[in-house]
Amino acid sequence: MARTGILPLIGAAALAGCSGTSEAEGEARWTSGSIEDLREAIGERAEHGLDRVRFEVPEDAGSAAGQTAMTKAALLYASALARGASDPGELYEVYTVPRNDPDLKAGLAKALAEGDVDDWLDSLAPHDGAYEALSKAYLALADKKAAPSPEIPVPEEPLEAGDEDPRVPAIARQLAASGYLSGAVGRAAGQRYSEEMVAAVKRMQADYGIDPDGIIGKDALEILNFSDADRARALAVAMERLRWLERKAPDTRIDVNTATGRLTYWREGKVADRRKAVVGEPGHETPQLGSPIYRLVANPTWTVPRSIEENELAGKGAAYLRANNMARKDGWIVQQSGPENSLGLVKFDMKNDHAIYLHDTPAKALFDEVQRQRSHGCVRVEDALGFAALIASHAGLSEEWTAARETGEETFVALPREIPVRLLYQTVVLDEEGTPSVHADPYDWDTRVARKLGFGERARHVLKAGAQDVGP
């Protein structure tokens, strides 16, 4: 393998973390076999989507300086596998999802002593089904050389309702993959641009701030059209995001994918529930948090944050406050309990410094949207009362929860065990067949990760912001 320099993304900070030689490192030396294992592992880094990241393996490891340089190279690559080649804490203002953080120096020393550097490196990346599916799909695209040209050529004349065109089946499949068209319709589409497809395109255009005329031209195809290069980029970013995470997530937890507006409730290692979620709109993005639910709140009140008061309620008079069951209390605007409260009839209280939590909402229509990035940052849960009843039942609190609801007043029900919640952002998800499907990047959060992995920019339309109510 050709020896090349380290890209700037690795940087001095990464090297500083593995500089010097510890006692553990001094106990074992690099042999010709161990060096070859490292070179082969780095040569196969495409299986992790790291083929655009360069790692330097020194030619000569015979001297003390060479041994130290070899150790640095190994720890650098090991860190990319174990923690990611990028640091989400540097990429995002907020990132508190639990990270993977093994003792790489001790692990390398042991691997060198036992002569199994290749096995040790192989153990560092995730080994779950999702990661393996992403890796397989990425390698398949790498074999095709990831063509940069769009899959669907831009038509010389825009496609209008009723037009016949050989590109229609590919357009239908991507509309289905993006959630705008049912999978059955997408798979069965012929070459006629049908009224059902026109309606789907209109919904998509409205989401992205394009005139919803249903005509497929350059702008519409820019949203739908993923080249092989675009897919490879998304898959590499998805693997990187998985490398950030702790390898053994809690068996009982709630994961919210803010990129797709989906909530998954895991109980004792199995999926117990899935439902839609409405999350923060662009400009009010839901942060990537690890934060537990510690209590249920029946009939919650809502204290309006200063930002919403100043930006959206400024100039609203007493009549508006009365109409929305709001009143000033200790200098704050507080909305009283009730079905029209912006938190709905249940709040899932979480422990974090960002005032982020899960809750009900009176704005039920938002769950019918394809792009559900429509809140001011908190997570609205579809059929939140049903979800709360499920949580209470599993916690042995059904009677207490029912009694709390019946008070009609704000009432707190503490959970005997906190439920970890991970607010994640993943634009590639597995479909029912286990095949990776690329979705929209509503916050444009993939771009900063892609840059760190050596990928360029992708032409795109940004999801149109516009929360439809003042709720959190």
Among residues 48, 359, 376, 439, the one annotated as catalytic is 359
- Residue 230, beta-bridge partner list: none
The first and second tokens of residue 292, run together, are: 């537990």
Cross-strand partners of 243: none
Query: For 273, which DSSP code?
Result: E
Q: Is 394 a catalytic residue?
A: no
Per-residue burial over 201-231, b if 16 or more Cβ lie within 10 Å, else e, is: bbbbbebbebeeebbbeeebbbbbbbbbbbb
φ and ψ at residue 231, rounded to 5 degrees: -65, -40
Q: What amino acid occupies position 112?
A: L
CB 34, CB 74: distance < 8 Å:
no
378 assigned to active site:
yes
Contact (Cβ atoms closer than 8 angstroms) between residue 220 and residue 211: no
Tokens (6 digits) for 37: 């294992």
Q: Give the pair of three-digit tokens for residue 208.
A: 């992205």
Cα distances (Å, whole numbers) of residue 238 to 56, 86, 92, 308: 25, 12, 16, 33
CA–CA dist 189, 169 (Å, integer): 5
Q: Which of 18, 376, 378, 394 is catalytic?
A: 378
Catalytic amino acids? 359, 378
